[in-house]
């Protein structure tokens, strides 16, 4: 019996790589990604809000929960896209966004995800893909807290905003160029 949309397999990955607006926009471009949700991971429920997370003292990272169909895109491909669209060699920073809430992290849900991520990071390190050491952390996913509604789909809703044009769109352009064979037929940005 063929899968219908309600029966398609689903898996979840949670990545952090700077501002969640950018990370969300990148993953929304990919075929097989059902949804990408901006939020917080790494801290407690009572500090899972933008105002608290911006202090850099909550343990949270701005993160994105990626819901995907593993029969159409794999965890490994998600990792490849993630590492190609942010700088995994800067600790607690992406560009001008500075603080532990902007760290590069993979929040793994199980030992298999941890193993795959660890192997991929080791492969990148051996390849010499980066001039500096990769500092991406592997952290157990204890909880993911959805960010406030105004953060969701921010790049799609605010395509002309200065930060979006200067920081998010170059990352989207990079995924479009480097992973052209993995893109949705119609981008969420092409409304």
Whether pTM exceeds 0.85: yes
Q: Is 53 among the domain residues?
A: yes
Instruction: Give percent of the chain above pLDDT 90.
Output: 92
Instruction: Give residue 187's pLDDT band: very low, low, confident or very high (50, 70, 90).
Output: confident
The reply to whether 149 falls in a domain is: yes
Mean pLDDT of 170-187: 95
Q: pLDDT (tens digit, 9 = 90+) per residue, 39-97?
A: 999 999 999 999 999 999 999 999 999 999 999 999 999 999 999 999 999 999 999 99
The size of the chain, in residues, is 191
CATH number of the domain encompassing residue 83: 3.30.1060.10
Active site residues: 19
Report if residue 65 sits inside a domain.
Answer: yes
- Which structural domain, as residue segments, surrounds residue 151? 8-182
Query: Secondary structure of the chain: what % helix, strand, coil (to 5)?
Result: 40, 20, 40
Dist CA 181 CA 163 (whole Å): 27
């Amino acid at each position: 019996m063929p899968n219908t949309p309600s029966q398609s397999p689903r898996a979840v990955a949670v990545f952090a790589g700077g501002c969640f607006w950018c990370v969300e926009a990148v993953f929304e471009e990919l075929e097989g990604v059902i949804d990408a949700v901006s939020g917080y991971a790494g801290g407690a429920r009572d500090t899972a809000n933008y105002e608290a997370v911006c202090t850099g003292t909550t343990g949270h990272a701005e993160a994105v929960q990626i819901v995907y169909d593993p029969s159409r895109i794999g965890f490994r491909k998600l990792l490849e896209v993630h590492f190609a669209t942010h700088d995994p060699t800067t600790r607690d920073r992406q560009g001008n966004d500075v603080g532990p809430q902007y760290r590069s992290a993979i929040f793994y849900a199980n030992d298999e995800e941890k193993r795959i991520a660890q192997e991929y990071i080791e492969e990148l390190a051996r390849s010499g893909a980066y001039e500096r050491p990769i500092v991406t952390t592997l952290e157990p996913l204890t909880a993911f807290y959805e960010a406030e509604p105004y953060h969701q789909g921010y790049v799609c809703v605010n395509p002309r905003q200065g930060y979006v044009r200067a920081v998010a769109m170059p990352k989207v352009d990079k995924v479009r160029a480097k992973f052209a064979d993995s893109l949705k037929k119609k981008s969420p940005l092409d409304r």
